[in-house]
């Protein structure tokens, strides 16, 4: 579909070339489609902007026409075949094209089952401990952070909010352990909104550091329901597929008591999509067997994992199991960690 010839090899013929150009430009609209041009021609080599633009538009039109023709042909074939038509092609999405991660958990993997039976959460999953959560902030919490903490405390059962008042985390942690807390949540703020979350599983548990974004408090939600009640909610964890994802998933699961009270009809969802974890809190109602209505209560926010540390919070000497390294991990659009 090249309509005008102007190849690189003939650049030394500059005066001749100009003449040629003018001749051809006058007849540009009347060119037959059959004229051939040297194959090394490309539209971007025409120096004149208007002509280049014209050529480009023409090129586009041609392409579009061919595409439409192809489409029509395919449709006709499809109709003709009727039942025997090949199944419709599934479009490519990022999730479809995801680079296969070798740490993806196979549901029947024994090694993983064994690991999970003996890791730091096993006490919780075996029903030995009840979660007790301490929510705190960085120094001098302001504005939305305070409200966010309070709302989180209503959403997570058995959660207590304490103000920091300048205490060092490393000193808080042994005190918490002494008082039987299982979780420590520290919310970091930047200009009066929360922007970071440190989730520390207390008796020697892993510490996860997240970046928090798009926080919507209860007031800001549209079509909101009433305040969350005291019943323990159910937990939904979606799309945590790799080993790392599994660990994080268990981290979230252990926040809530083991036996949800279905009477309360509340559900907390942690949905992982492309390494962003979306948290939502809903109240559901089953209208009948096949339909459920959900109504959003509670705050919503998204988390992105920044680092996972083996022991309790220790930024200098801790053993980091996983750290977000932007250049390696964010380079490929189809590669995800969780």
Helix residue ranges, H only, the chain:
14-26, 49-81, 110-118, 122-125, 144-155, 169-178, 243-253, 326-329
Both tokens of 18, joined, read 């100009």
How many CA atoms lie within 13 Å of 171's alpha carbon, on the beta-carbon side?
A: 5
Please state the φ and ψ torsions of residue 88, each to the nearest 5 degrees.
-65, 140
User: Shortest Cβ distance from residue 118 to other proteins (Å)?
Assistant: 26
User: Shortest Cβ distance from residue 156 to other proteins (Å)?
Assistant: 18
Q: In the complex, which residues of this chain contact other proteins (CB under 8 A)?
A: 75, 88, 91, 93-95, 139, 166, 168, 213-214, 234, 236, 238, 262-263, 267, 269, 271, 273-276, 278, 280, 282, 284, 286-294, 302, 304, 326
User: Shortest Cβ distance from residue 307 to other proteins (Å)?
Assistant: 12
Q: Which is nearer to other proteins, 41 or 276 (CB)?
A: 276
Distance CA 148, CA 305 (A): 19
Identify the CA nearest to 256 among candidates 119, 148, 116, 158.
158
User: Shortest Cβ distance from residue 276 to other proteins (Å)?
Assistant: 5
Q: Which is nearer to other proteins, 39 or 166 (CB)?
A: 166
- Look at strands 183-190 and 133-137 and give their pairing: parallel
* Residue 195 CB coordination number (10 Å): 15
Q: Which is nearer to other proteins, 18 or 95 (CB)?
A: 95
Please state the φ and ψ torsions of residue 135, each to the nearest 5 degrees.
-110, 130
Q: Which is nearer to other proteins, 45 or 139 (CB)?
A: 139
Q: Which is nearer to other proteins, 112 or 294 (CB)?
A: 294
User: Shortest Cβ distance from residue 252 to other proteins (Å)?
Assistant: 15
Length of the chain: 338
Contact by Cβ (8 Å): 198, 209: yes
Q: Which is nearer to other proteins, 123 or 294 (CB)?
A: 294
User: Shortest Cβ distance from residue 78 to other proteins (Å)?
Assistant: 8
CA pseudo-torsion sign 254, 256, 260, 265: negative
């Amino acid at each position: 579909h090249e309509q005008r010839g102007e190849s690189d090899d003939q650049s030394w013929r500059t005066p001749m070339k100009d003449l040629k150009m003018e001749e051809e430009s006058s007849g540009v609209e009347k060119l037959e489609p059959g004229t051939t041009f040297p194959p090394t021609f490309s539209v971007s080599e025409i120096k004149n902007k208007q002509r280049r633009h014209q050529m480009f538009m023409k090129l586009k039109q041609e392409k579009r026409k061919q595409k439409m023709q192809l489409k029509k042909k395919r449709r006709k074939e499809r109709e003709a075949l009727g039942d025997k038509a090949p199944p419709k092609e599934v479009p490519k999405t990022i999730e479809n094209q995801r680079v296969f991660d070798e740490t993806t958990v196979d549901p029947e993997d024994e090694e993983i089952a064994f690991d999970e039976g003996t890791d730091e959460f096993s006490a919780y999953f075996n029903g030995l401990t009840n979660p007790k959560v301490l929510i705190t902030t960085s120094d001098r919490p302001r504005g939305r952070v305070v409200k966010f903490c309070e709302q989180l405390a209503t959403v997570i059962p058995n959660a207590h909010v304490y103000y920091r008042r300048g205490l060092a985390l490393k000193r808080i942690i042994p005190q918490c352990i002494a008082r039987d807390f299982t979780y420590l949540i520290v919310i970091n703020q930047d200009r009066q909104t929360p922007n970071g979350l440190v989730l520390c599983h207390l008796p020697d548990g892993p510490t996860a550091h997240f970046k928090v974004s798009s926080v919507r408090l209860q007031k800001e939600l549209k079509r909101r329901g009433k305040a969350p009640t005291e019943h323990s909610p159910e937990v939904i964890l979606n799309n945590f597929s790799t080993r790392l994802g599994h660990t994080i998933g268990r981290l979230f699961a252990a926040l809530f008591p083991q036996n949800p009270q279905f009477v309360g009809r509340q559900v907390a969802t942690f949905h992982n999509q492309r390494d962003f974890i979306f948290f939502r809190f809903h109240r559901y109602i089953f209208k009948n067997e096949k339909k459920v209505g959900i109504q959003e209560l509670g705050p919503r926010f998204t988390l992105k994992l920044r680092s996972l540390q083996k022991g309790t919070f220790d930024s200098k000497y801790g053993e980091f199991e996983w750290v977000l390294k932007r250049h390696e991990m964010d380079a490929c659009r189809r590669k995800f960690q969780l």
